[in-house]
Amino acid sequence: MEHRENSFLEREPVGKLMTKYAVPCIISLLVAALYNIVDQIFIANATYLGSYGNAANTVVFPLTVVALAIAVMIGDGACAFVSISLGKGEKEDAHRSIGSAVILCIVSSLLITFLYLVFADSILTAFGGRVNDETFHQAQSYFFWITVGLPFYMFGQAMNPIIRSDGSPRFAMVSTLAGAVVNIILDPVFIFVFRLGMMGAALATVLGQVLTAVLAIWYLCHMKAVKLEKSSFGLHLHLAKRYLALGMTSFLSQISLVAAMMAINNMIQKYGALDAVFSNPEYAQIPMAVVGIVMKFFQIVISIAVGLAAGCIPVVGYNVGAGRRDRVKALFTRLLTCEALVGAVALIIVEFFPRALIGIFGAANESQAYTDFAVKAFRTYLCLMPLATVNKGTFIYLQSVGKALASTLISMIREVVFGVGFALLLPIFFGLDGVLYSMPVSDFLTFLIAFFVIRKTYKELS
């Protein structure tokens, strides 16, 4: 019998494999999320930045997600494709798809950096940056330096799942963790010691991303299951089409989040100006700052949900290629159970401990209006977290079993049709509170669709 690299993915218990791959993936994604979250924590606790800096961070955040969306489309797609190729014993496709992903990532990152630098002010305005003059000024400073580091950020994020597909989830985790540690160390130095403000927060982030990218380059030169050759590095369009299709769900889940955040930021700006409290110029930035903080907590939870599912991609992909539907089904059951538990724990935290959460983000330095709105935002916006995590896990799992079209359609319905649609519609009837209702309504309706897709998938795997 032909020996295949990573054949242990077909032999070892699925629970053990899920732990082995999902835990490092979760940590990697959490660490990646911490880049922006750590910035916001230190910014919020710097009295000379406060809620203005928080609001600026909220404006810039979705623009970094655009870059992340492209990176994960390339990386997650290549990860799934490489895993399936290795399961089939097709090593030639595996190494050429990785080389193609490297080239595609470099080209796309340079292009988006150029566009961001040229159209910076217009882009920031479109994402609600002109809520007041001070917020716009802080957003300009932060955005410029974050943009300079985008090529390193995108390369590190794209290569991370590819490293996992090569059978090295721990190295993928360590490379991301190393960059985050640099960011955590440099943030207080640049913000509090040198008082570099938003520029300092961005520089700390970029330097951490550079380290992660360098470690990824080192690993590409020392791969195990796949050996890269000179012929690997080319666009190889016939392969790119195949792995980009598998990564499309990851792209849409991120890019549609950007569309939703753009709609939310603009609705906050519009209906905040009509609110009895937040129409005051001194408080105008508070709703945007608060929703940004709520989204950061949501990002932490979703990073765990995505990590659980994305960590399963190499295992699922290999077993799909090897024809082991029984193992694919067993892993799906474990995944959905874990996703529901993660959402339940998150729900308990936001409903019972919202004040502790906002305290981390400098609430002691802000007004009572800030605290009151933050408590309501946490409890309302995130009240259906168990459904949100199950939905997300379902999207990614469908992607990993090769159901790219179904995964993409459901993801688009959730993020674009519901996420953007309700963010624009509900504020018309409920004002600023309508923005907070948009998330739970979208998650509930999406779950109704996901439930039928889950049932159908189980029948097919049986």
pTM for the model: 0.80
Angle between helices 325-352 and 313-321 (to 10 degrees): 160
With vertex at residue 421, the alpha carbon angle to CA 419 and CA 425, rounded to the nearest 5 degrees, is 120
Contacts of 281 by beta carbon, 8 Å cutoff, 6+ apart:
132
Residue holding tokens 């570099």? Answer: 196
CA distances to 5, 255, 307 from 148, rounded to whole Å, are 39, 20, 27
Contacts of 417 by beta carbon, 8 Å cutoff, 6+ apart:
none
d(CA 184, CA 101): 30
What is the per-residue pLDDT across 233-286, written as a single tens digit (0 to 9) for each? 998 999 999 999 888 877 877 787 788 889 999 999 999 999 989 999 889 999
Say whether 227 sits in a helix, a strand or coil.
coil
Alpha helices, DSSP H, located in 273-367 = 286-311, 313-321, 325-352, 354-360
pLDDT at 393: 92
d(CA 159, CA 161): 6
Contacts of 62 by beta carbon, 8 Å cutoff, 6+ apart:
127, 257, 258, 261, 262, 265
What is the pLDDT confidence band of residue 3, given thresholds at 50, 70 and 90?
very low
pLDDT at 2: 44
d(CA 278, CA 374): 13
pLDDT at 84: 83
Average pLDDT over residues 46-59: 90
Contacts of 120 by beta carbon, 8 Å cutoff, 6+ apart:
140, 143, 144, 147
Q: Which range (144-158, 309-323, 426-440) has the least confidence?
A: 309-323
